[in-house]
Amino acid sequence: MILMSMVYSIRFSPEECMLIERYASLHSLTVSDVIRRAVMEAIEDGLDIEICRKALKNYEDNPKTYSHDEVKRELGLLCRTRWFTLRMP
């Protein structure tokens, strides 16, 4: 499968253009790189917020919590021997 790049047109005010260009120059990036990174970060942030909201709703529906030791024990990461307790990092 061949993936092709897409081209989009965005209108910015002269002040916005100047700000973007100065930022790009300051960080040795192209204007395209600055815009691409900003868009991708905004999308990732939005997805993270949605995941957080779902996790909060799950917690509100079932507020059971577990200690670190309980989780480690459940995952088999906390082993007890006769002479000492072995704690895995």
Q: Which residue has the tokens 């007890």?
A: 80
* Residue 78 included in any domain: no
Name the pTM for this structure. 0.67
Q: What are phi and psi of 35, to 5 degrees?
A: -65, -45
pLDDT score of 89: 61
pLDDT in tens, 31-78: 999 999 999 999 999 999 999 999 999 999 999 999 988 998 888 887
Measured CA to CA, the distance from residue 19 to residue 89 in angstroms comes to 46
Residue 20 lies in a domain: yes
Please report the pLDDT score of residue 46 as a whole number: 98
Report yes or no on 28 lying in a domain. yes
Q: What is the pLDDT of residue 60?
A: 96
pLDDT tens figures, 66-82: 998 899 888 888 766 55
**What range does the domain containing 58 cover?**
11-63
Based on the structure, what is the number of domains in the chain?
Answer: 1
pLDDT at res. 73: 86
The pair of structure tokens assigned to 12 is 């910015």
Strand pairing report for 85-87 and 78-80: antiparallel
Residue 85 pLDDT more than 80?
no
